[in-house]
Structure 1
């Protein structure tokens, strides 16, 4: 099975772990750190996998990951109750329903899924 896993830079694994695990409901799949603040942290939630890297030398900063999900609104309801999410999901003219947020290190998490019939709300 071929797959890609986004690697996001972070300033502090401990801060990022709280955000992703407590705030967004991810599970830790591996942790390679001697001090809890630097190293690597693997995360998963359903079919979504991420790796956090601190310090991420030789790579760009302020990365963006796009999470393709079946129910954008479910993620928005859950996550906005736990962390700051700047705007509610909206149907985009290009054919997806989206919202986005930033993690504590300034990485963008862009969530998109199928367009929802807003007249049903």
Structure 2
């Protein structure tokens, strides 16, 4: 039987430096790669206990045509880009407080949802909708 796994998930941001602070310092992910190439930059973050999986943040035109990059950037700036991106943590309250202390925009404080999940929500510095569930 063939196995398949997710290798990376891209998140487009307008400021990679600000994204690094959010995902590294706020969410606590580890930078595993930080690359600049041809006027673009992307940073990859690893997840503890999930080797081989990475989150990659990059600017809108990295790997895209200028027209596509501009269209994507307009969506992200409005806060209606792809997403939400959903993360899971074993300590929602501590993760929430760490992100709030970092200055991240809070969309929803931790609550128990009607469908059973306990979660919270933020916007990353680019406006991407980030949800965090209690594992």
**CA–CA distance in structure 2, aligned partners of residues 105 and 18 of structure 1:** 12
Structure 1 partner of 2:28: 25
1:63 aligns with 2:82: yes
1:105 aligns with 2:126: yes
Structure 1 partner of 2:116: 95
Q: Secondary structure in 2 aligned to 1:87?
A: strand
Structure 2 partner of 1:117: none
Query: Which is helix-richer, 1 or 2?
Result: 2
Q: Summarize deviations over 1:51-79 as a string: whole Å, max 9, x none.
A: 10213434754222111222222211222
Structure 2 partner of 1:75: 95
Is 1:12–1:38's contact at 8 Å kept on the other side of the alignment? no
The two structures have a TM-score, normalised by structure 2, of: 0.69
Structure 2 partner of 1:39: 41
- What are the ranges of 5 or more consecutive residues in structure 1 without an aligned counterpart? 115-121
**Cα distance, 1:99 vs. partner?**
0.5
Q: Summarize deviations over 1:69-120 as a string: whole Å, max 9, x none.
A: 2222221122222223233200000110010101111111111125xxxxxx
**Cα distance, 1:9 vs. partner?**
0.4
